[in-house]
């Protein structure tokens, strides 16, 4: 085992000509043999993939233990054979279901169930084994990818979440700077600085500071864009120009007042439901000989 001080470890991205690590976690594999363990280091990715593929098929495994995949291969094969035979005998099964038959009688040859040939069953079993081996290889590949991501986060002195988010932000800045995509919103540097301060210092968080952030023009524009996009998506369009002129003018008025179409419709439906509900209650009370003591809109 290699034991080193954290700050003294030489990383690949530093100016040193050589890294202090002789190998990495994703280059290692341990074989547990009866009476001993064999540790191998394979630095070539293609050679590691080939070796893992050989081990998975030779050991017939899906979790590293020998013959652990056999049960799943047999179960998947039986299920697939039964599914294909049901599809093959669909018409015969339907006729058998509506045809009564005594206990001492048998169906004639025309209603005999068909079975898959042996070579077809062998082909199905081979296909199921290939699929299970493929999924097993994908799990091992995913383990190696996770190890590489963890190492890169270790290099940058970050957590894995910090590394992923920082890379997303770096890609976003690169794409917006090159003009490949449009910026999400024109957030000012002062706004971003204030937001970082609130995140880094939770004690400084207050209602007034949140209100100041909400009043920022960049935030207001971003909220307005999201609101308009959602409202247009509800109508099945991407821009106002796709609608008739009369509807365009109405929607512009709603957008200026910040009133959503779905909100207006929900208020109208709620009012209609409340009117019908109170009307039914009023009619029921009158039929009982009592006088209603509520107004129609008291709950709206």
Tens digits of per-residue pLDDT, 6-39? 455 555 554 444 456 788 989 999 999 888 999 9
- Domain boundary among the residues 132, 147, 170 is at 170
Non-local (6+) Cβ contacts of 104 within 8 A are none
What the block records as the tokens of 23 is 């190998």
Structural domain includes residue 248? yes
Q: Are 14 and 143 in a shared domain? A: yes
Q: Are 222 and 96 in a shared domain? A: no
Q: Are 196 and 155 in a shared domain? A: no
Q: Are 37 and 122 in a shared domain? A: yes
Non-local (6+) Cβ contacts of 156 within 8 A are 163, 166
Q: Are 123 and 252 in a shared domain? A: no
Q: Are 36 and 124 in a shared domain? A: yes
Q: Are 135 and 42 in a shared domain? A: yes
What the block records as the tokens of 279 is 């009307």
What pLDDT, on a 0 to 100 scale, did the predictor assign at position 119? 93
What pLDDT, on a 0 to 100 scale, did the predictor assign at position 272? 64
Distances (CA, A) of 38 to 28, 32, 34: 11, 6, 10
| SS3 (DSSP) at 220 | helix
What pLDDT, on a 0 to 100 scale, did the predictor assign at position 205? 61
Q: Are 62 and 161 in a shared domain? A: yes
Q: Are 145 and 76 in a shared domain? A: yes
What the block records as the tokens of 285 is 């009370």
What pLDDT, on a 0 to 100 scale, did the predictor assign at position 247? 76
Q: Are 154 and 244 in a shared domain? A: no
**Number of domains observed in the structure of the chain:** 2
- Domain boundary among the residues 170, 204, 224 is at 170
What pLDDT, on a 0 to 100 scale, did the predictor assign at position 138? 94
- Find the domain containing 200 and state its range: 184-259
Q: Are 63 and 135 in a shared domain? A: yes
What the block records as the tokens of 215 is 């009043």
**Which residues of the chain are under the pLDDT cut of 50?**
1-6, 14-18, 259-263, 267, 291-300
What pLDDT, on a 0 to 100 scale, did the predictor assign at position 20? 67
Q: Are 151 and 246 in a shared domain? A: no
């Amino acid at each position: 085992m290699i034991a080193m001080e954290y700050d003294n470890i030489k990383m690949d991205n530093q100016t040193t000509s050589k890294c202090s690590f002789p190998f990495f976690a994703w280059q290692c594999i341990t074989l547990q043999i009866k009476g001993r363990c064999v540790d191998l280091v394979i630095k070539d990715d293609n050679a590691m993939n080939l070796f893992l593929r050989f081990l998975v098929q030779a050991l017939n495994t899906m979790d590293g233990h020998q013959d652990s995949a056999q049960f799943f291969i047999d179960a998947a094969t039986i299920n697939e054979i039964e599914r294909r035979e049901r599809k093959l005998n669909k018409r015969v099964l339907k006729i058998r279901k509506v045809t009564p038959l005594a206990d001492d009688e048998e169906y004639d040859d025309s209603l005999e169930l068909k079975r898959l040939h042996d070579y077809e069953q062998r082909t199905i079993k081979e296909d199921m084994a290939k699929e299970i081996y493929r999924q097993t290889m994908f799990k091992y590949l995913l383990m190696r990818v996770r190890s590489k991501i963890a190492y890169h986060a270790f290099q940058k002195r970050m957590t894995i979440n910090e590394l992923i988010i920082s890379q997303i932000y770096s890609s976003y800045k690169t794409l917006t700077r090159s003009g490949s995509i449009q910026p999400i919103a024109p957030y000012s540097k002062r706004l971003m600085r204030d937001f970082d301060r609130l995140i880094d210092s939770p004690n400084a968080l207050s209602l007034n500071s949140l209100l100041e952030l909400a009043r920022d023009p960049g935030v207001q524009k971003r909220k307005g864009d999201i609101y308009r996009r959602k409202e247009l998506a509800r109508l099945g369009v991407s821009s106002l120009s796709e609608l008739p002129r009369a509807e365009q003018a109405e929607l512009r008025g709603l957008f200026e007042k910040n009133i959503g179409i779905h909100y207006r419709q929900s208020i109208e439906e709620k009012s209609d439901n409340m009117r019908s509900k109170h009307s039914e209650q009023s009619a029921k009370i009158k039929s009982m000989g009592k006088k209603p003591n509520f107004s129609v809109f008291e709950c709206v």
